[in-house]
Copies of this chain bind each other. A is one copy, B any other.
Amino acid sequence: MNDDLLSLEEFLPYRLNRLADAVSRDFSRLYRDRFGLTRPEWRLLATLGQYGTMTATAIGQHSAMHKTKVSRAVTALEERRWLRRAPHATDRRVEHLTLTKAGEDAYRELVPLAREFETRILEQMRPAEKGAIISGLAALERAMLQQRDQD
């Protein structure tokens, strides 16, 4: 192997991006075709569906979305009447976001589709391989956190 060349096929950032791109593109068809959702809107829906009421800032931190993305997705889902804003008891800058009935219905319809999508991919892999990707991603998540803490 040549030290002057970088093998992109073995280069971690490149592999991650390629995979995330391909998986995301396939998966987006589910929420795009059925509901016309964008990716930030799906993420907002999935986060509120899982956690119930949250503030915009908390959603951004938890789902790794920029606050402008969150803000725009909130506006979009609010216009669909899929979520409602409620004032914070003491801090008037903050709004609590909660899914409406219609939002919950959409969430409940999408969750099994998301599960099936993931299953379809994983069942192409052998058990040891599934274990490798699942624990490997966990290890990488930890490594990235440590990385960030050092700087």
Contact of A132 among B5, B111, B136 (CB under 8 A): B136
Q: Are A125 and B140 in contact (CB under 8 A)?
A: yes
Contact of A147 among B5, B7, B124 (CB under 8 A): B124
Q: Are A137 and B8 in contact (CB under 8 A)?
A: no
A20 contacts chain B at the CB level, 8 A cutoff: yes
Q: Which residues of B contact A144 (CB under 8 A)?
A: 19, 22-23, 121
Q: Which residues of B contact A131 (CB under 8 A)?
A: 132
A143 contacts chain B at the CB level, 8 A cutoff: yes
Q: Are B136 and A6 in contact (CB under 8 A)?
A: no
Closest to A110 in B: B6
- Mark each residue of chain A from 1 to 34: 1 if its CB lies under 8 Å from any CB of chain B, else 0: 0001111100111111111111110110000000
